[in-house]
Amino acid sequence: MSSGMNALALRSLRHRPKAAVATFLAVLLGTLLIGSFATLAESSGAALGTDADTLVILGAVVGGWGAVIVLFSVASTVGITTTQRATEIGLLRTIGATPRQARRLIARETGAIAVAAAVAGALLASVAGRALLAMIRSGGLVSERTTYDAGPASVGGAALLVLLVSAVAAAVAARRATRGPAGVVARESAGEQGRMRWWRVLVALLLIGYGIAMAVITITVTAHDADPYAAMSTSGSSSILVGVGLAVLAPVLLRWGAGPVRLLAGASATAHLASYNTARRAHLLAGVLAPVIVLTSAAVGTLMLVDIDRRTLPGGNADSDTINLLNNVVVGMVSLFAAIMVVNAFMATIAHRREELHRLRMLGATPRQVRGSVVAEAGVVAAVGVVLGTVAALTTVVPFAVARHEGVVPDGGLWLAPVVVAAVVALTLGSARGAVRGTARSAVR
């Protein structure tokens, strides 16, 4: 029975290659990023003096904040690819499969992909960790006598952590997809309407509340501290916390935000359809909206924080150079991962909509019209995402600007936000166009 279930799971994977690739890339990149920074923390054990402290900060603090975003993205991707199979699961239930059998099938499929991706990610992390330490050493953050001294513990721990998150995300999504009588499951999945669970709202509110609390502490407490970096330590993470919290609420926020976007875009048929379709598929497109919010909030918040720091402490010293480098590493790491997740999420979403695009072609729509409708929906997602991400970034920018005596509006660097927003919008629209291009051409085959 077990071997038969394994064979069925492997055969099932061949029918959804894009969703499998999306899950594989999320787990692979998540393990690679977390594992790379974990090797720095493990190497700190053989380092001496300030080198050990620097490696611990890079590995534990920077890697830890990055891990929050990475694990959220992995859970989101696994949850999306599992939820997209609600219709298939409903059909399995109608022909006699029990909820337990359906969940076991999903678990084995997800497990097969995740284990392969985590092992590959751990191997790559051991190589990337050496390269990361070499870059840090060449940049003068640690001395030449500090060498790479990480074993399988750090990369293996990172792989197990990502696998655990993937398993929990798949279990939660599978349990939801198999809940209720078989006929009801099939009808609900056809309606494409997902309801936000109470625990998800609670997690989002805790993250947003924690981020806002750090912003308040920055203005009322750490802004008056003798240490010039005390305010940065409390405000720096606020934009990431609030951004991830808003990303958890992405389905609801996308439904609410689609209407105002339509009003701003005008009364054209394209704007109306894009807004309507986005609101109707909010639970599906939320997988794209989430990394757009996190990418915008982390990039705008951290880049403007570094700019304020450079402007208000112009003298510079070894500590400020190290801190600015750490912040830039966070921006680069988060931006790269979030950008990949935007592309990844569009691949999975378009793969799920292949039959819908096929019906549009059969009704007479040209490939250009199909691409236009998908890109218009991506425009709505991008508009909602950059607005929410910019609002989240304010929880870092405003308190830190006040703490450095620049007031609510920083004295400079205001061009950074529109540049980041333009880049995020271009990435989102380009990802949608690239993902739908091949599907629109082949939808009638």
The Cα–Cα gap between 321 and 311 comes to 13
- 417 and 269 fall within a common domain: yes
In this prediction, residue 315 carries a pLDDT of 57
- Of 150, 185, 220, the one marking the end of a domain is 185
- 270 and 389 fall within a common domain: yes
- Of 122, 154, 185, the one marking the end of a domain is 185
* 391 vs 432, higher pLDDT: 391
- 114 and 164 fall within a common domain: yes
Residue 261: inside a domain: yes
- 123 and 234 fall within a common domain: no
Length of the chain: 445
| pLDDT tens track for 212-259 | 999 999 999 988 888 777 888 788 888 988 998 998 898 889 888 877
Residue 190: inside a domain: no
- 13 and 152 fall within a common domain: yes
The Cα–Cα gap between 213 and 209 comes to 6
Asked whether the predicted pLDDT for residue 191 surpasses 50, the reply is: no
Residue 191: inside a domain: no
Q: What is the mean pLDDT of residues 161-181?
A: 77
| pLDDT tens track for 307-352 | 898 888 765 555 666 666 666 776 777 677 777 778 777 777 777 6
- 376 and 305 fall within a common domain: yes
- 10 and 132 fall within a common domain: yes
The Cα–Cα gap between 245 and 239 comes to 10
Nearest 10 degrees: Cα torsion 92, 97, 98, 104: -80
- 86 and 9 fall within a common domain: yes
- 25 and 125 fall within a common domain: yes
Tell me what percent of the chain is helix, strand and coil, each rounded to the nearest 5.
85, 0, 15
| pLDDT tens track for 292-302 | 998 899 889 98
* 218 vs 276, higher pLDDT: 218
- 216 and 315 fall within a common domain: yes
- Of 129, 150, 185, the one marking the end of a domain is 185
* 414 vs 84, higher pLDDT: 414
- Looking at the structure of the chain, the number of domains it has is 2
- Only one residue has tokens 């952590």, namely 161
The Cα–Cα gap between 173 and 184 comes to 17
pLDDT category of residue 444 using cuts at 50, 70 and 90: very low
Nearest 10 degrees: Cα torsion 330, 333, 335, 337: -140
| Domain boundaries, position 319 | 196-444
- 277 and 140 fall within a common domain: no
The Cα–Cα gap between 420 and 427 comes to 10
Residue 315: inside a domain: yes
Percent of the chain exceeding pLDDT 70 equals 79
- 327 and 411 fall within a common domain: yes
- Amino acid identity for residue 216 in this structure: V
Using alpha carbons, list the distances in angstroms from residue 177 to 16, 91, 106, 355, 358: 18, 11, 10, 20, 25
In this prediction, residue 445 carries a pLDDT of 47
Asked whether the predicted pLDDT for residue 285 surpasses 50, the reply is: yes
The Cα–Cα gap between 383 and 257 comes to 9
Residue 387: inside a domain: yes
Q: What is the mean pLDDT of residues 3-14?
A: 66
| pLDDT tens track for 79-121 | 767 766 666 777 777 777 777 877 787 778 888 888 998 999 9
